[in-house]
Amino acid sequence: MTDAKKPWGGRFEKSPSAFLEEYGASLMVDRRMWAQDIKGSVAHARMLAKQGIIAQADADEIESGLAEVYTSIRDGEFEFRIADEDIHMAIERTLTEKIGTAGGRLHTARSRNDQVALDTRMYSKDASLELIGFINALRASLLHVAQEHHGVVMPGYTHLQKAQPVLFSHHLLAYYWMLTRDVTRMRHAYEAADVLPLGSAALAGTTFDIDRQFVADALGFSVVSPNSMDSVSDRDFLLDLAYACTVGMVHLSRLCEELILWSSEEFGFITMDDSYSTGSSIMPQKKNPDFAELTRGKTGRVVGDLTGLLVMLKGLPLAYNKDMQEDKEGVFDAIDTFSNGLRAMEGMISTMHVNTETMLAGAQGGFMAATDLADYLVGTGMPFRDAHEVVGRLVLKLEREGRTLQDMSTQEFVDADEAFGADAIEAVDIYGVVARRVSEGGTGNDAVLDQLVAARDALAVDVAWIESQHS
């Protein structure tokens, strides 16, 4: 028996079982695109009327009815039914119930294939802009903390072993520039989604004399898709968005790892704010960096979201296939997870307390002036490999004695090698070690001040771009 409720029911004598109906429905996932679906339908109806494909009176009824549906969903009064399959049919069904025959004309010259692609692209653009806003907020917090603590020295590490002293602000700015690249990736995802697919219909276009550019202008798309088959089957823009979220989460995870280490008793470089920490149910003394750990842990699921989308797309022939219904859930999860991670990280950075004296004390240990001491010997004419060996022997001796390079007297330097002079002590001064890194992009005071200016300028450019998209 034909199910008259289905938009495709005329061809069938049997309906799917209740189980299969629920199994095949995407409504509980794609319902979040309701605002984009309504906005796209309004533009489509206006175009149909302008082109004389439907009567203006019908278009007016459709727009009025869609406004009611919008209000109903926004206010939480809309009834979502699994039988509708997806948000597109849920809205069209409700519209037709409200306005009758005119509602049935809305789907003229379009398919769910290009309608789904339209909604997904619109949602992706909106999500990209929102994510860039959250990234910029975190960048601003990192920049503020870096400026506030300029001049604070800390140990720099390679292999998680103390390497050379750096400015704390220089270390934070490394993450700032990672996030700046995240903005670039997110802008690319926005631009990749900024192509109008509506008008491609199922896969071959439509026989109606539609005006795709009118719809593109109405919905804020920069260009119209050039190939109808590619248009309904392209999900590269979702891959770009998922990839941008994945790389961004990896960056957050790395920063979380630093905060977790720094807030431990062994490091003690920072103290996490109580509002971004939790305790133990059994150990009263504990203060755990749970939200940093959780963000680090959630990175895996976003990597999985990207992988799932890649695998789903890898063997699909043209054009649309039902597999593509699985394109949104993972991407929505990636968007939500990255968004929440950015908001949590911004709070952690902006509220943490920096223990500057502990950082400086850490920079005094680990023989981190050893390279500068070798460079000092090179300045006297000694080959670097010989200088490296001299300093290496000196470090071994001091390590056995439980002393540091800063503990040595001028005479001890001279006794270690005749190439050392009275100014050798200056070569191991931690502040001097940092200050001598004058190369562009280095950790020297002036170089970092220049970097702070460049960072402020870069953020201003990205904030202005966001504002231009909303205007």
Q: Give 181-238 pLDDT, tens digit per residue.
A: 999 999 999 999 999 999 999 999 999 999 999 999 999 999 999 999 999 999 999 9
Q: Based on the structure, what is the number of domains in the chain?
A: 3
Phi-psi sector, 159: left (phi>0), alpha (psi -120 to 50), beta: left
- Average pLDDT value for residue range 26-45: 97
Instruction: Output the pLDDT for position 303.
Output: 98
CA distance 371 to 246: 37
* Together in a domain, 70 and 205: no
Q: Can you tell me the mean pLDDT for 346-360?
A: 97
Quick one: pLDDT at residue 284? 86
Confidence of residue 470 (pLDDT cuts 50, 70, 90): confident
The pTM assigned to this predicted structure is 0.93
Is 471 contained in some domain? Answer: no
Residues 265 and 383 in one domain: no
pLDDT of residue 17: 85
Which of the residue ranges 10-24, 68-82, 320-334, 431-445 would you say has the lowest mean pLDDT?
A: 10-24
- The answer to whether the beta carbons of residues 200 and 183 sit under 8 Å apart is no
Is residue 39 domain-shared with residue 156, that is, in the same domain?
A: no
| Same-domain pairing of 31 and 65 | yes
Active site residue 159: yes
| CATH number reported for the structural domain that contains residue 61 in this entry | 1.10.275.10
Task: Write the DSSP symbol of residue 352.
Answer: P
Residues 337 and 380 in one domain: no
Q: Which amino acid is at 190?
A: Y
What would the pLDDT profile of 73-116 be if each residue is shown by its tens digit? Answer: 999 999 999 999 999 999 999 999 999 999 999 999 999 999 99
Strand 223-224 vs strand 195-196: parallel, antiparallel, or unpaired?
parallel
The CATH number for 381's domain is 1.10.40.30
More confident residue, 196 or 7: 196
In this structure, the answer to whether residues 253 and 130 fall within a common structural domain is: yes
- Looking at the fold, whether 131 and 270 belong to one and the same domain comes out as yes
Which residues form the domain of 71? 9-108
- Whether residues 221 and 180 fall in one domain: yes
Cβ neighbour number for residue 387 with a 10 Å cutoff:
22
Confidence of residue 16 (pLDDT cuts 50, 70, 90): confident
What is the reported pLDDT for 6? Answer: 65
pLDDT in tens, 412-457: 999 999 999 989 999 999 999 999 999 999 999 999 999 999 999 9
Closest CA to 35 of 81, 84, 91, 80: 91
* pLDDT band at 9; cut points 50, 70, 90: low
3-state secondary structure of 381: coil
Q: Give percent above pLDDT 70 in the chain.
A: 98
Residue 453 located in a structural domain: no
Pick the catalytic residue from 159, 439, 468, 471: 159
Helix ranges, 149-282 (H): 168-193, 212-219, 228-233, 236-262
Considering the domain architecture, whether residues 27 and 162 belong to the same structural domain is answered as no
Estimate the crossing angle of helix 112-148 against helix 327-351, to 10 degrees.
Answer: 10
- Residue 22's pLDDT band (boundaries 50, 70, 90)? confident
Position 7 pLDDT exceeds 90: no
The contacts of residue 286 (CB under 8 Å, 6+ apart) are 279, 280
Same domain, 347 and 370: no
User: Per-residue confidence at 2, pLDDT binned at 50, 70, 90?
Assistant: very low
Q: Which of 76, 108, 140 is the last residue of a domain?
A: 108
* Domain harbouring 255, CATH code: 1.20.200.10
Domain endpoint, select from 353, 376, 400: 353
CB 232 within 8 A of CB 324: no
Are residues 196 and 279 both part of a single domain?
yes
**Residue-level pLDDT at 26:** 94
Catalytic residue among 64, 264, 280, 409, which?
280
Question: Which one-letter amino acid corresponds to residue 201?
Answer: A
Looking at the domain assignment, is residue 468 inside a domain? no
338 shares its domain with 417: no
107 catalytically annotated:
no
The answer to the question of residue 270 being in a domain is yes
Domain assignment present for 47: yes
